[in-house]
Amino acid sequence: MVISDFHANHFHILGGAGSGKTHAVCGVCESRAAKELPTLLLLGKHFRKGDNIESRIRATCDIPMNYSWLDFLSSLNACADACGTRALIVLEGINEAEDAQLWRDQLPGFIASCAQFPRIVVVTTCRASYRNAIWPLADDSQFMFTYGFSDHSLEEAVSKYFDYYKLHADLTFAAIEQFAHPLYLRIFLREPKSRTRSREGSLCRRTNAVHRIQEFPSAGKR
């Protein structure tokens, strides 16, 4: 996801639980932060019933009271212009707010205020099941959708994850389609909790599932 490639001033990412929404935007934010590019990542769960979006962001970012919301956006826009990029405001997991009505009532106005500044992009992520509650009249053109790993990327993704966690398996014959859900792949490889990358593991296929059958110390670590 390259933010500069998007000409719209906002877009919304929808998908099921664990389909990659959070991973996608957090990866972008982490990469941008490492390059010191203007980026705000705000979690939906921190927005309470009765909150004002702008006020919550001001409080989270510790913006002085004598500094207006438009002053803040103007500064953010100037920073992005100086960096030759676009400033990113991410509202991640907005379905986790106390009241979805907050977004239905305030999100259009919030986006409109940000749209006054051409260098600012607003991105939201949300469970697809909340679409009608928050955007009752919106068509698909306003959204991006996540579905997990596609057929052509699944084997590559599983191979990379298995190599990273030092697990051995014959992926040609294994039932890897169960890993199309990114969250399941992550949970499978991170359990048990005591597992570390200093230990190697072996997997086998059993009916239509893949099981870890043993773990043993890496060579030279007895």
* pTM tops 0.85, yes or no: no
222 occurs within a structural domain: no
Per-residue model confidence as pLDDT tens digits over 30-66: 999 999 999 999 999 999 999 999 999 999 999 998 9
Q: Which domain holds residue 158?
A: 151-217
Residues 27 and 84 in one domain: yes
Number of domains in the chain: 2
* Residues forming beta bridges with residue 206, ordered by sequence position: 209
Contacts 24+ apart (CB under 8 A), 24-31: 24/125, 24/146, 25/1, 25/90, 25/92, 25/123, 25/125, 26/92, 27/1, 28/1, 28/3, 28/88, 28/90, 29/88, 29/90
Residues 117 and 155 in one domain: no
Burial of 111 (0-12, 13-18, 19+ CB in 10 A): middle
Residues 67 and 115 in one domain: yes
Last residue of a domain, one of 146, 162, 179: 146
Burial of 132 (0-12, 13-18, 19+ CB in 10 A): exposed
pLDDT over threshold 90, residue 160: no
pLDDT over threshold 70, residue 202: no
Last residue of a domain, one of 110, 130, 146: 146
Residue that is written with structure tokens 């990866």 in the block: 27
110 phi and psi angles, rounded to 5 deg = -65, -45
Q: How confident is the model at residue 120 (pLDDT cuts 50, 70, 90)?
A: very high
| Average pLDDT of the residues in 171-196 | 58
180 occurs within a structural domain: yes
* Residues 177 and 187 sit within 8 Å (Cβ to Cβ): no
Predicted pLDDT at 163 = 73
Residues 69 and 132 in one domain: yes
123 occurs within a structural domain: yes
Contacts (Cβ under 8 Å, ≥6 apart) of 8: 121
Residues 109 and 160 in one domain: no
More confident residue, 93 or 167: 93
Predicted pLDDT at 143 = 85
Last residue of a domain, one of 120, 146, 172: 146
37 occurs within a structural domain: yes
The strands making up 39-43's β-sheet, listed across from edge to edge, are 39-43, 87-92, 120-127, 10-15, 143-146
Q: How confident is the model at residue 203 (pLDDT cuts 50, 70, 90)?
A: low
Residue that is written with structure tokens 């052509």 in the block: 152
| 95/127 Cα distance (integer angstroms) | 6
Predicted pLDDT at 206 = 46
Residues 13 and 98 in one domain: yes
Residues 28 and 114 in one domain: yes
Of the ranges 48-52, 88-92, 205-209, which one carries the lowest mean pLDDT score?
205-209
Residues 113 and 183 in one domain: no
Residues 93 and 62 in one domain: yes
| Average pLDDT of the residues in 207-222 | 46
